[in-house]
Each structure stands twice: as structure tokens, then as C-alpha cells.
Chains A and B, each alone.
Chain A
Amino acid sequence: MVKLFAMSVLYKGPNEATLLKAAFELQSFGYFQRKSVQEFMSFVTKTIAERTAIAARQSVKEKEYMCHVYVRADNLAGVLISDDEYPPRVAHTLLTKTLDEFTAKVPPYNWSKLNETQVTFNELNVMLAKYQNPKEADAMTKIQQDLDDTKIILHSTIEAVLERGEKLDDLVAKSEGLSMQSKAFYKTAKKTNACCRM
């Protein structure tokens, strides 16, 4: 499927990343799975943003999903979760554009003090809907050309992004953002070797 599932803007502080705004499109998941899927995507978003260096881009593949991250030099981070058919180059172009628009809307001096409830940036939902069709991104070719010079680090699993000694299972168990049900959901999905299908 060519699909965007989640798009988020975060502020990457010295210890952890704070979510500033997130948008989701989860209609393709079953009714009873959506809540856990959303919690999980938020969890992955935060985890990967925290493990991406300043001024770097990463793309992480996990089963049929892709997670694209861009952390700018001013600590603003964008994370996008898509299906593995969605063109990675367009995804990164989109992240650049998102962070630019966010900066224009929310002044930078506030970022470190804000949290999700205090930010209004509804453009994120609009963009998530609009760019479901990657062709819409044709107009952004200028950014795309700049992107050609940047190196995007590719990883084939989430585990590969984690720091030495870290395990995904432990992070899931420790996470406060995941409900009991979602943790059980993770265990079951892992057992059946499928991300979100059971």
C-alpha cells in the first residue's frame, strides 16, 4: 500500500524528545486495533527521534512499515511513518516542508517549554491527508534537489537504531505511553511474527 500512517513534530531536548504535534490516519486498521496501533506509532516515533543525531536523516524499515526521521540543527524533529511502498525520497521532502511550516507557525523560542496540548498546528492533519498521494509532492522538487546532497542513513530494523545494550522488548515494557493492552498486543504480534495483523 502507498500510505502515510502518522506524522509528528517533536522537540529533541538533551535527555528526551517531547511531542509537539501528531497526526494519524489509521482507517486501514481494524476498529479494535487502532488504539494500540496509534500508541505504538507514538512510541516508535519518540524512540527513534531520541536516537537520531542532530542534523541527520534516518529511514528505518520494520516489516511492511517505514519510519523516516529528520532532526534539524535547531533540535526540531519530524517523524513520518508510512507503508514500505511510499517513496522514501518524497517522505523526506515532506519532512523538510513540515518542519519549515511548523517553524513559521510556532516561534522557536517556545519549543523547549511546550507540550502537545499547547500547540495548534492543524496544517499537519491537512498535509497528512494531502500527501497520501505522493504525486502531490511534485511541486516540491526544489527541496528534493537539495535532498540529493544529504545522506540518509538506512536501517533494516528498529533494533538496529537502538543504542548498544538496549532491547526493544525492555523499552516496550518500561514505556509509560503504552497501555497494558498495547503491551499485550505487542507480545502477541511478536509471537505471530506480524506487526499489526493477527
Chain B
Amino acid sequence: MEIDDNFPAAIRIVTEIQNIVSKDPKLKEFDLVIQPESQNKSPVIYIDHCLGLESWCVRHVYRYVYQRLITIRKRLKRPVSNETITLLTSALLLNPEVTTFWNMRRELVIDEYLKPNEELRFCAVVLKFKPKSAEIFNYRRWILFHVLKDFSSNDVVQNELTVGLTAANDYPSNYNAWNHCFCVIQRSLDHGNFALIAQQWEITKVWCCEHVSDHSCMQYRQRLLKYLVTDKRCIQHLKSCASKLLLRFFNSDERHKLMRPSEDYIGETIGVILDELYFNEDLIAMYQNHESLWNHRRFLCYLLVNIYSTDCIKEVLMNNEKRVCTNFLKGNEMFVKKYVLWLQTKLCISIQLL
């Protein structure tokens, strides 16, 4: 296909976009502005660190940059010019799903035409437009893990987690965003940043209250919880509330049977799980009929039973879950029934609903 000659304004538009992107380090978002027809003025709108492009020209602009870039890519010798960067910026803002374009940017980073830190900023802007795009997160991780490689600075890590959380806010159950956060966490654990798990555990607890049906956030918390209950170095950063919770959950006989004085750490782990179990109950009481909450509860019971594989814990759990299921049967009927069935088949805990 030949270059679209019907739209000579394309070059001017993409240059304008590139200028704004490279000159404004505080650029917050990019979005389309619905405008079916040309208003006889530039379709690039730039207010208050937000960049908008009028929708009528998107088709023409994208067609132009796509064709130009593919032509450039097909050449054997690829001299780098500012034009390539300009074209890539517009192409990826409009459609971040094209791996080839990200790869072209990767080459430019390797050859030091583009700065890694500026690339991270650019990605954050693209994420505001397409918060779920896996390609953007892949590229970010590539920059972090293969170019910067430096995880000693807490600022880099915190910035990454903030970007992830923003994307999670902008798109419900955004698995890619949460997964990205978790990758970053794993990397910083390798560098001995154990306090991070506890910090994320507290932050996402507040976040969960505002997004009760977000499956991916719950799953992220489950991954954090696994670290907390298996690694002493992680749990010690958490404010302990174990003793109060153990008193609430077990009666004295049961406590006696389960605990040995030497097992403080076990007490702490159980404490974290119980805290989450009661927190989950509060959410279920407040918000009816959310599958995510009941699934999360399954995970917590599973963890509790598997850490402490005794019959005693099953009995206590059975009584507690019977109380919860009976209390919340009204309004959550389908999920309670599924949950009871699951307890029976997977954990051999049988509950008779009244």
C-alpha cells in the first residue's frame, strides 16, 4: 500500500504530539476527544498537562504512521532519524498493542537514542489511555530489569508500584497491572527489601475496601499473604495483632491444644490469616453478592487448614464458617451454597445450613 497522500496534515500533527511528549515531563494523560468532524484548527489539544487528539483524525494519522513505520522497518539499513521516534510516539499512543513498534523503541534505547527514565514516563502516559495493555507492562519491565537493573533505590520501586496501582484504578480487575506490581516486589525481595510486603499488604487493604469486586487485587493479596506466612523476614514488619485475634477465634481449650509456647511465629502467621478472615467477613456484611469476596474466603480457609493440619483447626473453622454462612445466607444465597459445597469437597468440612 502506498502512503496516504490525502492527509498531508499528519506530519504536522505527529510532530506536535512529539513536541508535547518530550517537552512536558509532567504530562499526565493522553485521550481521544470525541469530535466527528474537523474544526479547521489543530486537532491536538493540550491543557493542564493532559494531551488530547480529536477523534476525526485518528484514522488518518494512524494510517500514516503505521505505513511509514512499516516501510522503515522493512529497510535493511535503518538509519535512525528523529522522524522514527516521532512516528513511534504517535503510533504507540494510539495503539500500544503492536509489539513491533515497542521493539523498535527497544532498539533505540539500546543505541542510546532514547533515555530509559523518559521511556518510563512515556509508558505511564500510554497506560492512562490503555490501562490494561500487556505490551506496555512488558516494555516497562524490560526497561527496569534489563536496562536500569538497579533495584537498590526505593524510589524506583515505589514509583513502579504507584504506576501499577493507577492502572489498577483505571480498569477493573486489571490482572496485568497487579502482576506487574508483583514482579517488581519479587525483584526487590531479591535485594532484601522485606518491608515492602507488609507495606503493600496495608495499602491494598484500604484499596480493597473501595474495589470489592476486584478479583485481581484479591489475588495479589493472596500472593502477598503467602510470603507473609512463609517468610519470617516479611512478617516482622507487620504490626502484630495476633494475640487479640487468637483470643477471638479460639476458646482457651482450643488454644491450649494448638499452641506450644515455642511457637510464637506460628501464632503470628495465624494472626495475619485470621485478621484477613475477619476483614473479609466485614466486607461480605457490607457488600452483598460479590463472588470475589467468597473466593478470597476460600483461599484463607485453605491456607489456615494447610498451615495447621490438625483436626482441631477444622472443627473451629467449621463452627466459625457455619456462623458466617448462616448470617449472610440472605443476599448471598448462590455464593454461600457454592462455598459450603467447596468446604465439603476440598477441606472435608461439612456445614449444615438451616
Q: Contact residues of A with B, CB < 8 Å?
A: 1-3, 28, 30-33, 36, 64, 85, 87, 133-135, 181, 184-185, 188, 197-198
Contact = CB atoms under 8 A, between A and B. Distances in A.
B15 interface: no
Contact of A85 (B34, B45, B52, B213): B213
Given A32-B50, A181-B35, A87 B288 contact: yes
Contacts, number: 53
Contacts of A31: 28-29, 31, 47-48, 50, 52
Interface string B10-43: 0000000000000000001101111110000000
Contacts of A2: 209-212, 287
B267 interface: no
A87 B32 contact: no
A32 B55 contact: no
B203 interface: no
B176 to A, nearest CB: 16
B290 interface: yes
A188 B209 CA distance: 32
Contacts of B33: 32, 181
B34 A181 contact: yes
Interface of B: 28-29, 31-36, 45, 47-48, 50, 52, 55, 128, 169-172, 209-213, 286-288, 290
Contacts of B31: 30-33
Contacts of B288: 87
B45 A32 contact: yes
5 contacts: A2-B210, A28-B170, A32-B50, A85-B290, A133-B209
A83 to B, nearest CB: 9
Contacts of A181: 33-35
Contact of B172 (A1, A135, A185, A198): A1
A184 B210 contact: no
A3 B212 CA distance: 11
Nearest to B50: A31
Contacts of A135: 286
B322 to A, nearest CB: 25
Contact of A36 (B28, B29, B34, B45): B34
Contacts of B29: 30-31
Given A31-B52, A32-B31, 6 more contacts: A31-B48, A32-B50, A85-B287, A87-B286, A181-B35, A184-B36
Contacts of A3: 210
A82 B283 CA distance: 18
B99 to A, nearest CB: 23
B35 A1 contact: no
A171 B55 CA distance: 24
A183 to B, nearest CB: 9
A198 B52 CA distance: 13
Contacts of A185: 34
A30 B6 CA distance: 31
B119 to A, nearest CB: 22
A186 B48 CA distance: 25
Nearest to A185: B34
A116 to B, nearest CB: 26
A184 B128 CA distance: 22
Contacts of B213: 85
A188 B32 CA distance: 11
B34 A188 contact: yes
Nearest to A182: B34
Contacts of A32: 31-33, 45, 50, 52
Contact of B35 (A28, A64, A184, A197): A184
A13 B48 CA distance: 41
For the complex of A and B, the 6 pairs showing the least CB-CB separation, nearest first, are A31-B50, A185-B34, A30-B31, A32-B52, A32-B31, A184-B34
A146 B311 CA distance: 45
Contacts of B47: 31
A148 to B, nearest CB: 12
B34 A30 contact: no
B52 to A, nearest CB: 5
Given A31-B29, A87-B286, A134-B286, A1 B211 contact: yes
Nearest to A30: B31
Contacts of B32: 32, 198
B206 to A, nearest CB: 10
Contacts of B290: 85
Which of A1, A28, A30: most chain B Cβ within 10 A?
A30
Contacts of A85: 211-213, 287, 290
A31 B29 CA distance: 8
Which of B34, B213, B286: most chain A Cβ within 10 A?
B34
Nearest to A198: B32
